A and B are shown apart, each in its own frame.
Chain A
Amino acid sequence: MSDERAHGATAHGATAHGGTGHSGTGHGHGRTSQGGALPGLLKGLAVTARTLVTPAHTAEYPDVQPSLPPRSRGVIALLEENCTVCMLCARECPDWCIYIDSHKETLPATTEGGRERQRNVLDRFDIDFSLCMYCGICIEVCPFDALHWSPEFEYAELDIRDLLHGRERLGQWMPTVPPPPAADPGAAEPKEVAAAGRPARPARAARPAGAAGAGGSTRSAGTAGPAGARPARPARPARPATDQPATDQPATDEPDPS
C-alpha cells in the first residue's frame, strides 16, 4: 500500500517533469518532497519497524515438530488384525495403488460334526505412496476399520521405488494413529454408543405359544402404541447346518400364521 503510493507519486512527478520541464513538479518525487511520497516512505519505515519487533511466525520444522490438526492426512496405517481381505479398498482406490494378495485357510470345525470354516489370510498389503493421492477413500470404505489416517509424514525416500510400503511398515504407523477427536458439544450421540446404552432386549422365549404370550405382554408394557399390539414373535427356528438363502430371513419376522 505504502509502496504503491510512493510509486504513484514519483511516477506522476517524473512524467510531468519529462513532458513540460516545469520546475515545480520536480519536487514531487524523492524524499525531499512534502507531497504524497513522504508519508508513504514513513509508512514503509513504520511497517518494517513494527514487523521487526513482532516475533516471526516461522515454523522451525526440523527442530520443532509441527502441531498437526486432528485428522491430518499424513500416511495410511494398517491394523492387520481387522483386515478380512475383502478387497474393497483396492477396488475403490482411484489410482490403484493398493496391492493385496491372500490365500484361503481352512479351519477345522470347533464342535463335533460342525462345518469347517474358511478364512482369508493376508499375504501382502502394499500401498504405493508414490501413486497415492491421499484421497482417503480406502479408509472411508474399509468396513472393518483396518485402515487409519496417521499424522506421520516423514517418510520421504531418495528412490521413488522405496515408497512402496509393505504391511509391516504400514502396521508400524498404527501406534501413531490418534484417538478419534471428541464429538462436538451438543452433537448427536454416535450410533454405536446409543446402541450400547439401550436396554438389552428381553430374552427370547424358548417355546412358542403360551410362553411367548407372556413375553409379549412385558414388551407391550414397555412400549406404547400399536407396536405393543403386535403379537409376540415366535422363537427362531434352529438354523440348519447349510447356508440358507437370504430370502429366508424376513420370513422369521412375520407373525406366525398358526
Chain B
Amino acid sequence: MAEVAEAVLRVVGVLAAFLVLPLVVGQTEHKVMAHMQGRLGPMYAGGFHGWAQLVADGVKFVQKEDVTPAAADRRVFRLAPGVALVPYLVAMVAIPLAPGVVGADLDAGLLFVLAASAVGVLGTLMAGWSSANKYALLGGLRTAAQLLSYELPIVLAASSVAMAAGTLSLTGIVRAWEPWWLVWQAPALFCFVVAGVAELARPPFDMPVADSEIVFGPYTEYTGLRFAFFLLSEYAGIVVLAALTAVLFLGGWRGPADDVLGWLWTLVKTGVVALLVIWVRVAWPRLREDQLQSLAWKALVPVTLFQLALTGVVVVMTA
C-alpha cells in the first residue's frame, strides 16, 4: 500500500511540475522578452503584472473552434498534438530534482530522456504531413531535416558526460559531477544547448515554423486546444532541455547546503538555462535552412566528436 501511495505521489509531483513549469517559462518569456524590447508585456490578467496571462490564453484556446481540414488525414492530424506533448511529460519522469526526489530513478535515465524527448518532434512531423497544406508540409520537412541534423550532436554531447560519469543514470551523473567538469565538458555543454534549442525549433533555429515565409509551418492548420498543445509542448521542451542541461552539465542539485536546498539548486540552474533560451530568441535573427545544416554538420558534430575524444582520453588517463 505504501508503495502505491509513493508511486501516486511521484506521478502527481511530476504532473504538477509538467503543468506548472512550462507556464512559468512561458510567462517569463512574455515578460523578459517584453522588457528586452522596451515593452511591459502583459499587465492586466490576474492583477499583478499579468501573472495569469497564460491561464487566460488557455481559457481562450479552449473556447475556440477545433477545426480539422477536410483534406487532412484526420486521425493523424488529431493525434499529433498529443504525440508532441506527452513525450515531454514522460521525459520529465526521469529527471531528478534532488537526491531521492525523482519520478523514477532509471538506470538508463539519460537514454530514456533523450529517446522520449526525440519522440516529441515526431508529433510535429505528423502534423506537417497530415495537414494537407503545402506550408505545413514544408515545415514538416524542415523539422525532419532539423531533427536528423541536431539529434546527433545532442546524443554525442550527452554521451560525453555519460562517459565522464561512467553511468547512464541521471542521479549517478549528478553524484559523479565535479565543478571542474564545467571547463572539461564546456564544448559539450555548448553544443548540447545549441542543438537542444535547434531541436525545439526555437529562434534562432525556427526555420520549420518561420512565420514570415511558411505561415506557421506544421501548425498552420491547427486551432483551439490542439494548437495550444503544440505551444505548450514547445515550453515543456524548454523545461526538459533546461533541466537536462542542469542535471548533465551544471551539477543538478549540487551546490552549497545541497542536502536541504538541492531542489532549489536544480530549479535555479534550470531557470538560468531557460532564461538563456529566451534571451537568445530575442537577440538573434533566424538562421537560413542551409546555415542550419552547416552549423550542425560542420560545427557541432566535429566539436562534439572532439569532446568525446577528449573525454575518453581524460577518463582513461585518470582512471
Contact = CB atoms under 8 A, between A and B. Distances in A.
B290 interface: yes
Interface stretch (B34-42, B61-69, B117-125): B34-42
A214 interface: no
A3 B43 CA distance: 29
Most buried by A among B283, B287, B299: B283
B290 A44 contact: no
Contacts, number: 67
Contact of B290 (A14, A58, A60): A14
* Interface of chain A, main secondary structure: helix
Interface stretch (A24-32, A102-110, A122-130, A178-186): A24-32
Contact of A32 (B37, B283, B303): B303
A3 B38 contact: no
Contact of A56 (B35, B287, B290, B298): B35
Contact of A60 (B43, B279, B298): B43
Contacts of B283: 41, 44-45, 47-48
Contact of B35 (A3, A6, A51): A51
A7 interface: yes
Interface in B28-63: 32, 34-40, 43
Nearest to A50: B36
Given A41-B283, A44-B284, A29 B37 contact: no
Contacts of A17: 294
B288 A14 contact: yes
Contacts of A52: 32, 35-36
Nearest to A30: B295
Contacts of A3: 284-285
Contacts of A150: none
Contact of B299 (A6, A7, A32, A49): A32
B38 A18 contact: no
A10 B36 contact: no
Contacts of A44: 283-284
B274 to A, nearest CB: 15
A61 B284 CA distance: 31
Given A3-B285, A48-B36, A52-B35, A29 B291 contact: yes
A192 to B, nearest CB: 47
Interface string B287-316: 110110011001100010000000000000
A60 B43 CA distance: 9
B161 interface: no
A57 interface: yes
A31 B35 contact: no
Nearest to B32: A52
B116 interface: no
Contacts of B282: 48
Contact of B294 (A6, A30, A41, A60): A30
B298 A10 contact: no
Contacts of A57: 38
Contacts of B298: 26-27, 30
A17 B299 CA distance: 14
Which of A6, A17, A52, A54 gathers the greatest number of chain B CB atoms within 10 Å?
A52
Contacts of B250: none
Question: Which 3 pairs across A and B sit closest by C-beta, in order of nearness?
Answer: A44-B283, A30-B295, A48-B36
Interface of B: 32, 34-40, 43, 194, 279-280, 282-285, 287-288, 290-291, 294-295, 298-299, 303
Interface of A: 3, 6-7, 10, 14, 17-18, 26-27, 29-32, 41, 44-45, 47-49, 51-52, 54, 56-58, 60
